[in-house]
Chains A and B, each alone.
Chain A
Amino acid sequence: MRKHRVCVFGAVLSVVLCFFSGVHVSAQSNFNSYTYDEWDESVAAPASYQPVMVKNGLEAGSGAWNTPQDFFLDGDGHLYVADTGNNRIVVLDENLCLVEIMESVRMDGEEVALSDIQGLYVTEEHVIYAAQTAANRILIIRDGEVEETIEKPVSTMIPQDFIFSPTKIGLDVYGRVYVLSKGCYSGLLQFDLDGSFMGFFGANKVEVTAQVIFNYMWKSILSDEQRAAMTSILPIEYSNIDCSEDGFVYTSTVGTQMPKSQIKKLNPLGNNIYYTAGRKEFNFGDEEFFYSKGKVNYPSFIDVKVREDGFIFAVDLTSGRIFERDQEGNLIAVFGGAGSQFGTFSTPVAVEVYNDKVYVLDRLKNNITIFAPTEYGALVERATLLYKDGLYDESSAVWKQVLARNANSTLAYNGIGKALVQNGDYTEALKYLRYSGDKYSYSKSFGKNRLLVVRKYGTYVLLALLALGLLIGIKKQVLKRRKRNEK
């Protein structure tokens, strides 16, 4: 009997100890995965992307890299790394194994070093566009030979003292070249197929902050000379560009004082059309900001990349995280982070996607990290795409699988809720839509449900009221007659 009791005591003790000693399954990634709830507060979520490989220059077989500024992945899985500090371009395959090193190119019969390359673009025909910032030109290289260069354009739109220092390049589906020039506040430079300058494209607008309004007021009372002495207010430059298959130009912005619309989707007129379904501007990065030295650290996006299926990836310099959103601005995944461990970055500068993998280049750590989607991440992407294509029932089934892995997913609740609305099951839909925090859809579903309820019970309620009215009328008549009779 006594032995038995000791046994029970031991079992209880071990269970209690388990609770207090913090025995748990160790997390696999070195960063937190999260998503945002309807109050824009972060809540835990399973990892969507996991780091699968990280390689620096030595491991890739090309010798150490020195502050690489950009890289580009072409359609065949070849990765062109602008090894800026070593004045060369390193070509790797999709598994980061060395294919080729380009140290110099032939130009007009002479060998020219590939010095100070800050931006790269490679076409399907393996024509390399390399931005030589210090040399103020863009080299167009075909088979190791410079075919053409783009230099400071001659145009009435361009002031005499304009310095053409190209940093990033993007080509749209028609072959037009978009160039980002350092210190140019008028937007992207747009070149036609034949290399002629077409004009500036999609300038950032000046952010209206308290400082701007204050300066504006001052300027209205100062003299011209005093006004000239004041610092002029300029819009913030773009940090990177990417052109999508459907003809839109995506841009990212660093160092803003407002977190809204840091990633822009520019239509051919140069206007931002990247909004939520409710036509609102939104934060591409984090909703919660951290403070240091009395200042808010807003996200600062250094690169943006659009995948063929429409998902947008952008890397945030402030937090070292990569954010993935869909075309309506819904947060699909957050991964990476600042740090020195596997899967974290110190200064990420570029992001590329190939098939379902995400490649991130780190300027300070001189390495490339490859992320692959987890089962959960792939499910979220699949469900989003199915829903976008109008396959509500199919997407609902996938969203249910997502929900089984993450009960915090407002996207999943929303997807299931909207599928239920499509099938006419409004009462059930209301439950899911409420969890998703989508008041607009909830209101619509609520209205339809209300109509059904009124149609179902409306007649009975009206009949009951009529009957009640009749009864009261009869009672009054009876009482009146009784009174008359008494008299």
Chain B
Amino acid sequence: MKNKKTATNPFYTIMHPFDCSYDIRYKGRGNLYFSVIILLVFFLVSVFQRQSTGYIFNNNKLSDLNTPLKFVGVILPFVLFVISNWVVSILFNGTGRFRDIWIYSAYCCVPYIIGNFAAVLLSNVLVMEEPFGEYVQIFGAAWSLIILFIGLMVMHEYNFTKNLFGCLCTIFIMFILFFLIMLLGSLASDLYGFVMTIAKEIMFRVS
């Protein structure tokens, strides 16, 4: 062996979720910069997927691209997941730390990203009757979910049922957080509108 591959290599992660999760948690081998880079690539691939999927499979209006929205669409669910999972781990005596969950979850996105990327490439040579791109995507997503599940189980020192319950709770909390964000957003916009109306009214009276 040249050198034992460490958890810093995401391609090692996707093949060895048990080892890698353990290494990140107990040997501090995770790389925060790497996780950020993965998320950025995730965002770029999602834009690429929207714009460059072959015409036959592409149901998006190419001229309506909204990159900031796409960015939020990628980053927000990820952040929400990590926060909720960390909250759940605190409630259920999980041993994972916020940093570990973040890094490992980012690493777990790799198969999904690769699957999507491959699907985009395939969609440019396939016709309507051959939906293989979709299969590749599903395969990538399933892989990502499985290693995520395994990794969290190891990281939090849970057994299978407890981890399953934890994941369901995580999803539930994600929805609650999302709802709160929407509520806050609408309240903020209402407040903004209220303040603006008053300001306008005052300006109008003064002048």
Give the B-binding residues of A (Cβ under 8 A): 39, 434, 439-440, 442-444, 446-447, 450
Contact = CB atoms under 8 A, between A and B. Distances in A.
Contact of B128 (A39, A434, A443, A450): A443
A443 B61 contact: no
Contacts of A439: 55-56, 128
Contacts of B55: 434, 439, 442
B55 to A, nearest CB: 6
Nearest to B58: A439
A439 B123 CA distance: 13
B79 interface: no
B127 interface: yes
A434 to B, nearest CB: 6
Interface string B122-135: 00010111000000
A450 B129 CA distance: 14
B61 A446 contact: no
A487 B125 CA distance: 51
- Which of A39, A440, A446, A450 has the largest number of chain B CB atoms within 10 A? A446
Contacts of A39: 61
Contacts of B128: 439-440, 443-444
B127 A444 contact: yes
Residues of B contacting A: mostly: loop
A225 to B, nearest CB: 42
A442 B61 contact: no
Interface in B50-75: 55-56, 61
A38 to B, nearest CB: 9
A450 B56 CA distance: 14
A450 B125 CA distance: 8
Tier of interface size on chain B = under 10
B122 to A, nearest CB: 13
A203 to B, nearest CB: 36
Nearest to B59: A439
A439 B127 CA distance: 10
Contacts of A434: 55
A414 to B, nearest CB: 15
A443 B125 contact: no
B68 to A, nearest CB: 22
Contacts of A446: 56, 127
Interface string B109-137: 00000000000000001011100000000
Contacts of B127: 443-444, 446-447, 450
A434 B55 CA distance: 8
Contacts of B125: 450
A443 B56 CA distance: 6
A455 to B, nearest CB: 15
Contacts of A442: 55-56
Nearest to B63: A39
Nearest to A447: B127
A447 B128 CA distance: 9
Contacts of B56: 439, 442-443, 446
A369 to B, nearest CB: 37
Contacts of A440: 128
Nearest to A446: B127
Contacts of A450: 125, 127
B48 to A, nearest CB: 20
Nearest to A454: B125
A436 B129 CA distance: 20
A461 B55 CA distance: 26
A88 B187 CA distance: 64
Nearest to A440: B128
Nearest to A38: B61
8 contacts: A39-B61, A439-B55, A439-B128, A443-B56, A443-B129, A444-B127, A446-B56, A450-B127
Contacts of B129: 443, 447
Among A434, A443, A447, residue most surrounded by chain B Cβ atoms (within 10 Å)? A443
Nearest to A41: B61
Interface in B65-114: none
A456 to B, nearest CB: 15
A36 to B, nearest CB: 14
B51 to A, nearest CB: 15
A20 B149 CA distance: 64
B100 to A, nearest CB: 43
A431 to B, nearest CB: 11
A349 to B, nearest CB: 39
Contacts of B61: 39
Given A439-B56, A446-B127, A450-B127, 17 more contacts: A39-B61, A434-B55, A439-B55, A439-B128, A440-B128, A442-B55, A442-B56, A443-B56, A443-B127, A443-B128, A443-B129, A444-B127, A444-B128, A446-B56, A447-B127, A447-B129, A450-B125
Nearest to B124: A446
Contacts of A443: 56, 127-129
Nearest to A37: B61
B61 to A, nearest CB: 6
A439 B54 CA distance: 11
A39 B61 CA distance: 8
B128 to A, nearest CB: 4
Nearest to A439: B56
Interface string B33-49: 00000000000000000
B195 to A, nearest CB: 27
A446 B125 CA distance: 9
Nearest to B128: A443
A446 B56 CA distance: 9
B164 to A, nearest CB: 34
